[in-house]
Structure 1
Amino acid sequence: MRFRHPDGTRVHLAYCTNVHPAEDLDGVIAQLAAHARPVRERLGAPLLGVGLWLARPVVDALLREGTGRLRAALAANGLEAVTLNGFPYRGFQERVVKHRVYHPDWTRDERLRYTLDLARVLAELLPDDADGGSVSTLPLAWREPWTPRDAGAARRNRERLAEGLAGLGRTIRVGFEPEPGCVVETTEGAVRHLAGRDGHGVCLDACHLAVAFEDPGEAVARLGAAGLPVVKLQASAALHLDDPADPAGRAALEAYAEPRFLHQVRERGHGAGADDLPAAALPGRGAWRVHFHVPLHADPPPPLRSTRDVLDGTLRALLGGARALTPHVEVETYTWGVLPGAPPDRADGIAAELAWTRDRLTALGLKEDT
C-alpha cells in the first residue's frame, strides 16, 4: 500500500513475511499466493507491500537463478517489495530459535555477505518508480561476548557494507535495529555505536522502543540530531503489565512464555531486566514490558495490555510533522504461530493490523496513493 505524505514523500506500508516459515524459493513464491494475496484481497487494496524475509538458502537460489520468477509472482498477486527483513539468517520459524536469531552477527563475514546479497536482490525487485529500498539487520550482536576486537571486526564489516551498497545502481539503505539485550539496545546506543561512522541508518522497531521505555518523540529527535536516518519503522507492539506484584497479572503473562522466541522483559524505573520469560526473579516494583509482538488491532486479556500507544506516538513522531522522517512502514507481528488463542486464519489478523496502521496514517494526513 502506498501513501503520500503532505510533503510529497511516498510512504510504503507492508507486512513482513517472516511470519511464514518457507526457506526455499518455491516456498517463498507459494506463500505469496497462499498468504499475501488473501491479505490484500481482504483489504480491498489494488497493491500490497510485502517486507520479504529471504533466508540464506533463498538468497542463494535467487543469485543462481535470477529474480525473474519471484518478480513475476509478486506482480501476479498484486504485490510489491521495497524492503527486506535481513535480521534472521535462517531457521526463524523452527521449533526453538531464541539466541540463534543473532547469528551470524556483524563480527562475521557471513553477515556482511548475506546483507549485501539481500541488497543486490532487492535492487532487482524494486519497482521502477520506487525511490529506493531498505534492508533491516540486527543491532550488531547479542551483548555478550562483546570485546574491543569484536567491535573492530563489526566496524570493518560496516565499512565494507557501505562500499558494496555504493555500486548497486539503486539506492538501498541498511537499518540496524536496536533491541533489548543486544550491543545496540536503544536509540542512545545507536547514536553511540553507529552515528557518523558509515552512512547507515536505523530500523526503528516500536515494540523494542516500548520495552526499553523510550519516549518516541525523544527517540526520533535523538536519532535526527545524530544524523541517523530511520530507514524503516517496524510497526509492532509489546506486552505491558502495570502491576507485576499482582498474581493475576503474573499468571496472565505466563501464557506467553513459549520455547521458540526470546521475550526480553524490562521493569520501569529500576534498571532491572530478564532475558526471557518467565521473569520471576525481577523485583516487580514497577511496570513490566515484554518483547512479545502482539497484534496491533487487538488487546491482550486483562490485566495485560499492549503498547499500541507507543506505536501511535512513533507514527506521529515520524510521519505527523511537516516532513516525513521514514519512507517505509512494515507491520511485523511474527508471533502469530505462538500467540495464545490466535485464530487459525492469519490472513484476517494480518489484514486487520494493516487496516489499523492504514487508518493511523490517514489520520496523520497521509493520502492513499493508488
Structure 2
Amino acid sequence: MRFLHPGGSIVHLAYCTNVHSAEDLPGIHAQLSGFCARVRSLLGVPRLGVGLWLPAGAARALLDDPQELVRLRAALDSHGLEVVTLNGFPYRGFQQEVVKHRVYSPDWSSPERLRYTLDLAAILAALLPDDVTEGSISTLPLAWRTEGAPTALLKPLVEGLREVRSRTGRTIRVAFEPEPGCIIETTAQAAELLPRDELLGVCLDACHLAVGFEGLDFGDLPIVKLQASCALETPPGAQRALGAYDEARFLHQTRCASGYADDLGEALARLPYGERWRTHFHMPLHAAPPPPLTTTAGYLGELLRTVLAAPLTRHIEVETYTWSVLPEPDVTGGIAAELDWMRRELAVLGLKEL
C-alpha cells in the first residue's frame, strides 16, 4: 500500500510475513497465494505491500536458480503484491515450537550473517517494483549481549551493498533494530556503535522502543524503516493477568521502572508487582487485550507522528508475528484489521492513500 505524504514523497506500508511458517520456496509461494492474497482481498486494495521474510535456505535457492527469482517476481505481480522491504532478522526457523534466543543466531560476528544479508540485498534489488529504486532490510542489533560489539563485518557489508547498487542501479539499505537485552538496546547505542554510512541506519520497532521506555528524540540517526508494533502493558498490581502470555516460543523481555528481566516467566518471579510493566509481546495494533491489560498503542501513535512529520523514513512494516501464540488467533482477519487501523492513522497524519 502506498501513501502520498504532504511533502510529496511516497510512503510504503507493508505487513511482515514472518508471522507465517515457511522454510522453502514452495512455502513462500503458498503464503503469497494464500494469506497475502486474502489479506489484500479483505482490504479491498489493488496492491498490497508485503515485507517478505525469506529464511536463509530459501534466499540461497533464489540466487542459485535465477528462474526461481523470476517466478517469485511474477507471483508477486499476479497476486497484486509488491515488496520494498525484507525482514532479515530471523535466519531460519522463526515459527518453530521454541525460538527464544535462537533468533539471534547467527549474529553479526558470523560470516553466515553477512552472506545472508547480502543475499537478501541482491534478491530485493530484483524484486523492487519498476518505479522504486530504494529498498530496505531490517536486521538484528548486532547480537544478544556479549563481551564487546561485533562490528568488523559492517565494512564488508557496506562494500557489498555498494556492489549491488553499482550492478543493479537499486539502493538497498540495511537497518539495525534496537532490542532489549541486545548489544544495541537503544537508538543512542545505535548512534554510538554503527558506522555513519548512507547505506546503514536503524529500524525503529515501536514495541522494542516502548519496552525500553525510550524517548522520541533520535537526533540525526538515519531511520531506514519503522516497524509498527505494540508492546503488552500491565498496570501496577495486575501482573497475574499475564499468565496467558507466558509461553514457550518467543522471548518476552520485560521492563519496569526499577528492573528488567529477559523473559516474562523471570519477570513474574522477581520484578515488583507494584509498578507498571511493559513486555516484549507484539500485540495487535487495532485491539486491546482483555482488561486490566493494555498495549502501547499510544506510544506507537506518538512515534508515527514524530517519524512521519518530515518523513524520516518511507518504509513502514506492520510486524505482529505472535498471532500463533495469542489466546484467540485470527491471523488473516487480524492482519487485515491491523493494516486498516494503520491506514486510518496515516490518514489522520495527512497522508493520502494511492
Q: Could you state the TM-score of these two structures normalised by the residue count of structure 2?
A: 0.96
* Structure 2 match to 1:146: 147
Per-residue Cα deviation, 1:273-295 (whole angstroms, up to 9, x for no partner): 00001212012342100000000
Secondary structure, counterpart of 1:156 in structure 2: coil
* Structure 2 match to 1:277: 264
* Structure 1 match to 2:338: 353
Residue 198 of structure 1: how far off its partner (Å): 7.5
CA distance in 2, matches of 1:197, 1:78: 34
CA distance in 1, matches of 2:30, 2:328: 26
Per-residue Cα deviation, 1:193-238 (whole angstroms, up to 9, x for no partner): 11536751000000001000112x32xx33x2xxx21111000000
CA distance in 2, matches of 1:284, 1:188: 29
Secondary structure, counterpart of 1:167 in structure 2: helix
1:267–1:284 contact (8 Å) kept in structure 2: no
1:53–1:85 contact (8 Å) kept in structure 2: yes
The partner residue of 2:312 within 302, 325, 328 is 325
1:334 aligned onto 2:335: no
The partner residue of 2:92 within 78, 90, 93 is 90
CA distance in 1, matches of 2:119, 2:55: 11
1:294–1:306 contact (8 Å) kept in structure 2: yes
Percent identity over the alignment is 60
* Structure 2 match to 1:229: 222
2:136–2:225 contact (8 Å) kept in structure 1: yes
Whichever residue aligns with residue 368 of structure 1, its letter is E
Q: Could you state the TM-score of these two structures normalised by the residue count of structure 1?
A: 0.91
CA distance in 1, matches of 2:133, 2:43: 25
**Runs ≥4 in structure 1, deviation > 2 angstroms?**
195-199, 283-286
Change (3 A) 1:341 1:58: same
Per-residue Cα deviation, 1:307-349 (whole angstroms, up to 9, x for no partner): 0011101110011x2x211010000000000011223xx1111
* Structure 2 match to 1:256: 245
* Structure 1 match to 2:135: 133
Per-residue Cα deviation, 1:57-108 (whole angstroms, up to 9, x for no partner): 1011101122111101101110000000000000000000000000000011
1:158–1:198 contact (8 Å) kept in structure 2: no
Query: Runs of 5+ in structure 2 lacking a partner?
Result: none
* Structure 2 match to 1:111: 113
CA distance in 2, matches of 1:138, 1:146: 17
1:102–1:138 contact (8 Å) kept in structure 2: yes
Per-residue Cα deviation, 1:148-185 (whole angstroms, up to 9, x for no partner): xxx3xx32210110000001131000000000000000
CA distance in 2, matches of 1:358, 1:197: 31
* Structure 1 match to 2:159: 163
**Deviates further, 65-74 or 87-96:** 65-74
* Structure 2 match to 1:267: 256
2:172–2:199 contact (8 Å) kept in structure 1: no
Whichever residue aligns with residue 335 of structure 1, its letter is T
Whichever residue aligns with residue 159 of structure 1, its letter is K
Whichever residue aligns with residue 123 of structure 2, its letter is V
1:71 aligned onto 2:73: yes
Per-residue Cα deviation, 1:96-149 (whole angstroms, up to 9, x for no partner): 000000000001110000000000000000011013100000000000x223xx
CA distance in 1, matches of 2:272, 2:351: 43
Aligned residues: 346
2:285–2:338 contact (8 Å) kept in structure 1: yes
Change (3 A) 1:276 1:195: same
Whichever residue aligns with residue 138 of structure 1, its letter is L
2:161–2:199 contact (8 Å) kept in structure 1: no
CA distance in 2, matches of 1:79, 1:196: 33
CA distance in 2, matches of 1:163, 1:12: 27
2:206–2:230 contact (8 Å) kept in structure 1: yes
Whichever residue aligns with residue 241 of structure 1, its letter is T
* Structure 2 match to 1:207: 207
